[in-house]
Each structure stands twice: as structure tokens, then as C-alpha cells.
Structure 1
């Protein structure tokens, strides 16, 4: 669907859509919790247990249930509607965070197994506000050109939240215990969710059909964006660790950590710029045709990062790689919205989310195994090559899908 000739799609037009600003602001308030709670939990567990091993295990449990149970949580929203599913989900999330905060109140008071169980339970209940908001965007902006800008704006704002959240935690722990960050994150989720669910745009979303859970066709065609975005997530997980390793090798004295922070900030800045420009362009090619090219752009720039001789050039190379990150993710969300049945849009977005996060987790593990055995430049190049292979697979499967669509069905 093309944009209406009477109104040129823009970010201002997106925010002028009835109920858009109110709903989006509420969703962002709740989603800021995602940037605050994980770091606060890690710091609080480390302080209470005195063990990095315990903190790592607890965070692994929290991350695993958050990521891999996201599609089932999204399925509940598709099945019962946002209000009926998100209210009990949010209540369970807040209760488990409260119990975890109490367990962390005194160092050594709670066994590691209890902390792990509470963290896993909290992760299992995390409300999927991001996928739900994107599904609401689809209802608010049925025009495809306007939806592209809405998704781009949403993606850039979410990335900024994940930068802002840890910064707020850093300020908070300067005068309060780390567990206070869990309380702040819970309060943001409670306030944001209450405002989100009271929005007329959310109240208007009907529950899905009873047959959705058994209808595999509702998500047919989702494999391409999921595969591509898993490659992007893998690259992000690898780059985070490789930048730290590169900074330690090329930094002077103890400045490796701060240098790595600046390089990773360049990655985020490049992603934000790329996302905003991607949303502002009136693309002629469909999202399915753009996805492999954007993925390939990320792969090529990562290969180039492997040639960087110093921190300055690495920052430029990483910023160039970031330029493709947000557009690729946004395009994947657009494809997911296109191929999913209307009653399965939250699940479709959740699968893309899961692919990014699972790929990032795997990438961090792979980078940790390779960084000590291979030169950092080789690791960058290898990561870029993997992303290029992902782009090729995405292009081939897309061509096959277009060919099969042309074959008459008998």
C-alpha cells in the first residue's frame, strides 16, 4: 500500500495519528524498565552473593526465560487481547520482582537457588510491550509508508532506551543500593503499562480467534526475517565483546574500558542515524527485497572493521556497521507484519525479537571462545562472513518464495 498523495508520510505525521503519541509514550515508559532491571538485578545479586559466578548464573536464567518464552507470552496477547493478557502478566512480573528485591535486601540471606528461581520466574513474566506496541502501530497506521516510519521511530527510540537505562542505573547506584534500581524499573513498568492499557488504541484491539494457536499458516513466511535478524543479533553479540578486546589491545594504561564504551556508542549512534534515514526514504523496492541487501551491508562493514589499525578507525567502521543495524531490524518487523495473519502480529514481532536476542547471546558465547584464540581482526572478518552468508540465504529463500507464488495452485 502506498502513502496517500495528500499527506506526505513523515515522523511528525506518525505522531499526529490519533492516540499515537499517548500510546507510544506509555509504551516507552514501560519499556525503559527493560534497560534498568537487568543491570540492577546483576549488580544487586553480585553485591548480595559476593560471587560473579552466582550473578552470571542468575542473569543467564533471567535472560533465557525472557528471550525464549517471549513467543508464548505474545501468543497469549494474540489469543486474549492486550488487556486480558497483559494485566495478569504484568502483575506476576511485578510480584516476582518484589520478591527478588526482598531476597536481595541482606547479603547472603537468600540461597543462590532461590535467587535463580525468582529471576527465572521474573523473566518468564516479562510483558512483551515492544511486540504489542508494534502490533498497535499496524492498526494505527495501515498505510505501509507511514508504518515504515512508525517502526523506524519505534526502533530508534527503543535503542535509545537501552542506552539510557544503564546510565540511569549508574546514577542511581551512586546514592542507593543496586536493588533500588529493580524498584524503579518495576515502577516504570507499572505506570507505563497502566497508561498503555488505558489508551483507546489498545482498548480497541480485539482478542484473537480460538483457532489461532493451532493455525501454523498464521506465521507462514516468517522464516526469512527471523534468519536474517538472528544473523544481526549474532553480529551484535560478537561486536560487543570484540570491541572490548580491541580496546584493551590498543588502549593505553587502564583506558580500555572507556575507549570501548566510546566505540560502542558509535555503533548505537550509527544505528540511530541509519534507522531515521531508513524511515524517511520512500523506498520503491518492497521490504522483502531490501532485507538481504541491508544484511549484506552489515556483513561487509564488519569485514572492513577487521582491517581497522586503531581505535579511531574502528569507531568509524563500527558506526558504519551500525548504520545497517536498525534499518535491517525495522525491515524484518515490516516483513513479519506483512506475512503474519492479523490475529498473529504480536507473535510475529516477538519471534523477530527472540531472534535478535538469541543471536546476540550466541554471538557473545562464540566471541568469548574465539577472541582468545584468533586475532581480533580475523574475528571481525569471520563475523562479517557469517552475516554475508545469512544475507545470501535470505536472498535465495526470498527468490524461491517469489517463484512459488507465481506457480499456479491446483
Structure 2
């Protein structure tokens, strides 16, 4: 008698990710440091507004801080790849924390000089350590199995989203009994302490060896991941303003807006965990385009919502594609980048999301005054769909693809 066929192995779980040696300690330290990015934006906005008495100044400072953080991120990430996180990350975090302390001191009391505040904010943003890209690059060192890596990236993405929800709430509690600048000090403490624990992990890597024949510092093949990340950022930042405009034009209480946007975040968390648990048969790039296209379609259809509950349901459905799209973009960046460029590749995707978010807010603000609200939702959705089409795997990729379910790597 022939032996019975062995059953298919069960897919790895999220618990299996955290059972990887040293994963829990390393991930917890990284999340502690990354919580700083969830607290710092609101803390800087409140403290600068209070110190200068001007919303225009606070808006300009936030724009400068965000631009320095986002557009220099690939450069900072390349230092991580070149010198290793232990040598590059902690000095970067320490300098960033020190500059945040300077910014907190300048804005502790009213009457701060606007040029000095702006200069401190720009310098701090220029030094912000690329903690998310570093952790995602480290997951590829911790985890060999691609399915388990998919779970790890999904868990990382959902946890990061929760940090951006809990961070402002933490600042809100703190300013109830302390000046807003205390939130900047909290951000500095989190990033320095968390990064110190992060780089002390036994699995922290050194400089990544350069692949034979590769050109150090060159990241190729990232256009699909970067395009989708930018398109998603553009669409999502527009949604925030569109929900606010929807509530205003329908005479709803503005207090309902955070709940509708919370539904988007909740849908994203559920979608991210569900996507990470699926054993996908399609390639990473095809999946990426499907998620981004679906996100765009749902956002476009949200414009015909007849009321608040329908809009909330649409936001839940749209959110279900947000985390999967971004997680898959990071996975594709990891697959296409050479080993010595992994942190930088993830940083390009991260920068694209944030740059898209900044541009989307500006574009949507202009469109709301020029188009019907339904047309604005349609434009936001069309941006994500266009990015999906730009990144779509056409015939050439299909011809070069290996076995089913695996994309060929450059």
C-alpha cells in the first residue's frame, strides 16, 4: 500500500511571527521608537500655534518639518544600508531627539521667534531616523519563509497604523495637564529610548554586503511600488478633507468626522490582517495593482453615498484595501531591491506615501471649491486607479515570470 499523501502544511500564523527568536523584543522596541512619529505631529502643531499665536506660522512650520522628514528619508535610509543600523541609527535618533528638545524649549512659552522655530523644525525633520524602513528590512533578515514574511509585513503595517491613531490621543491626554511642548519632549524620549533598545537587539544587522556586480546605492525596479504608494497617499489624504466637506454640506455635526475616519482605519486594520493571512496564488505585483485599483473604485463610489451611514460603510470597505495595498508595496520593494538597498527601497515607498498625502491635501482643497463633491470623490479614486494601471504587470512581466505565484526578481 502506498503511503497516504501528506496534507498541505498549515499557513504560518501571526503568532508564529512573534515566536521567531528575538522578534518580539526587537519589534516592541521598534514600535516604541515609532510611536514618536504618532505623537510628534500634533505636539508640534499645538506647541507652535500656542508659542507664536499664528496658525499661518504653525502651518508653515509643519510643512517644512514634514518636507524635511519625507524628502530626505531615502538619503538617511541609504546611510543605514551602508553603515548598518547600529552605527547609523542611534546617532541619527539622538540628534533628532536633541533637536526636538530645542524645539520644545523654544515653544514652551508664548512669544517664540518664528524663524528660530522653523529652523529647529527643519533641522529635526532632516535627522528623523527611518525606523519603519529599517524594521521592515530587518524582517527579511529574521524571516526566511516568504509566507511568514507576508504575515510579518502585514502585522507591521497594522501596528504602525494603530500608532498613528493612539499617538494623538496620548498627546491629547498629556496637554490636559502640561504645556503642548511637553508632547515634543515625549516624542524625543520615545525615539531615543526606543531606538536604543532597538539597536541593542542581538539580531541587529551590520552593513549589508554588496551583491557581486551590483552598484551600491542604486535602487532599481521600484516604480510600481512607488507609484501605487504615492497614488494611495494622494487618494487617502483627499478622503480626509472630503469627509469633512461631506459632513459640512449635509449639516452633520463636525464631531462625527473622526468616527467616519476611524471606520476607515478600522477597515484598514481588518483588511491588513486578513490579507496577510491568505496564501495568495497571484504574484506580488498583480496583487498590488488589484488592491490599489479596488481602493480607487470604492473611494470613487463613496461620492454617491446618500447619507452618513452609507459613507461610513464605504469608508470601511475602502479601508479594507489600504493596509493590503501599502503592505504589498513594501513587499514588492523588498523583492525588487538588491540586498544592500533594502532599507532605502522601503524608504522610497514610505516617502511616496507621505509625499502623496501632502500633495493630495492640497489638490483636494482646490477641487472642493471647483467641483461637486461627488466629482471630487471621483477624482481621488481615479488617482489610485491610475497608479494601479501604471504599475500593472503587462505582457513582458508575464513572459518573464517564474512559477505561478512568484514574480521574477531583478
User: Same fold by TM-score, threshold 0.5 exceeded?
Assistant: yes
Structure 2 residue 61 is matched with structure 1 residue 58: yes
Deviation at 1:400, TM superposition (A): 3.5
Residue 127 of structure 1 corresponds to 129
Structure 2 residue 309 is matched with structure 1 residue 307: no
Residue 42 of structure 1 corresponds to 45
Structure 2 residue 257 is matched with structure 1 residue 260: yes
- Structure 2: distance between partners of 1:332 and 1:399: 20
- Structure 2: distance between partners of 1:211 and 1:79: 13
Whichever structure has more helix as a proportion of its residues is: 1
CA offsets 1:328-347 (integer angstroms, 9 cap, x no match): 00101111111111111000
CA offsets 1:208-242 (integer angstroms, 9 cap, x no match): 35799x92785221111100111001001100111
Residue 245 of structure 2 corresponds to 245
* Mapping 1:8-407, distance limit 5 Å: 8-108=11-111, 110-202=112-204, 205-209=205-209, 215=215, 218-252=218-252, 255-256=253-254, 258-396=255-393, 398-403=394-399
Unaligned 5+ segments in structure 1 are none
Deviation at 1:6, TM superposition (A): 5.5
- Structure 1: distance between partners of 2:172 and 2:80: 34
Secondary structure of the residue aligned to 2:179 is coil
Deviation at 1:405, TM superposition (A): 7.0
Unaligned 5+ segments in structure 2 are 1-6, 403-410
- Structure 2: distance between partners of 1:404 and 1:275: 29
- Contact kept in structure 1, 2:216 and 2:341, CA below 8 Å: no
CA offsets 1:316-335 (integer angstroms, 9 cap, x no match): 11111111000000101111
- Contact kept in structure 2, 1:251 and 1:259, CA below 8 Å: no
- Contact kept in structure 2, 1:240 and 1:264, CA below 8 Å: yes
- Structure 2: distance between partners of 1:106 and 1:38: 18
- Structure 2: distance between partners of 1:88 and 1:79: 14
Secondary structure of the residue aligned to 2:371 is coil
- Contact kept in structure 2, 1:19 and 1:201, CA below 8 Å: yes
Tell me which moved more, 152-161 or 82-91. Answer: 82-91
Secondary structure of the residue aligned to 2:108 is coil
Relative to structure 1, the CA distance from residue 29 to residue 217 in structure 2 (aligned partners, 3 Å threshold; closer, same or farther) is: closer
> Superposition RMSD on alpha carbons, in Å?
1.8
Tell me which moved more, 45-54 or 378-387. Answer: 378-387
Relative to structure 1, the CA distance from residue 405 to residue 313 in structure 2 (aligned partners, 3 Å threshold; closer, same or farther) is: closer
- Structure 2: distance between partners of 1:113 and 1:198: 37
CA offsets 1:147-184 (integer angstroms, 9 cap, x no match): 00000000000000000000111111111110000111
- Structure 1: distance between partners of 2:206 and 2:25: 19
Deviation at 1:7, TM superposition (A): 6.2
CA offsets 1:6-53 (integer angstroms, 9 cap, x no match): 663110000000000000000000000001011101100000000000
Deviation at 1:105, TM superposition (A): 2.0
Secondary structure of the residue aligned to 2:392 is helix
Residues matched between the structures, number: 395
4+ long deviations beyond 3 Å: 4-8, 208-212, 398-406
TM-score of the superposition, structure 2-length normalised?
0.93
